[in-house]
């Protein structure tokens, strides 16, 4: 018997990537905020701001990747469908 290969959905791969991206962004910016808090004795304000900024960066990354994926999907769909003739005069 031959093995069937399943193609993974690009949305599934995006969801997997989003989890890691969000976690990395929150941890990175949170750590930077924690460092600034310890250096200037302003705990916990910069750490909270860093975590919020990491959250915003993670979601911004998600929305940019979704827009790119949708534009690629629309371009592929437009290429696959035959172009319609413009309404109006018909050739004789």
Reported as a single tens digit per residue, the pLDDT across 5-62 is 677 788 888 999 999 999 999 999 999 999 999 999 998 999 999 999 999 999 999 9
Q: What is the CA radius of gyration of the chain?
A: 23
Torsion-angle region of 7 (φ positive above 0: left; ψ -120 to 50: alpha; else: beta): beta
Which alpha helices (H) appear in the chain, and where do they start and end?
10-40, 45-80
pTM: 0.73
């Amino acid at each position: 018997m031959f093995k069937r290969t399943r193609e993974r959905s690009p949305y599934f791969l995006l969801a997997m990537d989003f989890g890691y991206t969000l976690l990395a962004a929150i941890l990175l910016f949170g750590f930077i905020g924690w460092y600034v808090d310890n250096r200037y004795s302003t705990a916990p304000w910069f750490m909270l701001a860093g975590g919020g900024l990491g959250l915003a960066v993670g979601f911004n990354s998600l929305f940019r990747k979704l827009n790119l994926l949708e534009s690629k999907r629309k371009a592929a769909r437009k290429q696959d469908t035959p172009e319609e003739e413009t309404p109006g005069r018909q050739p004789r």
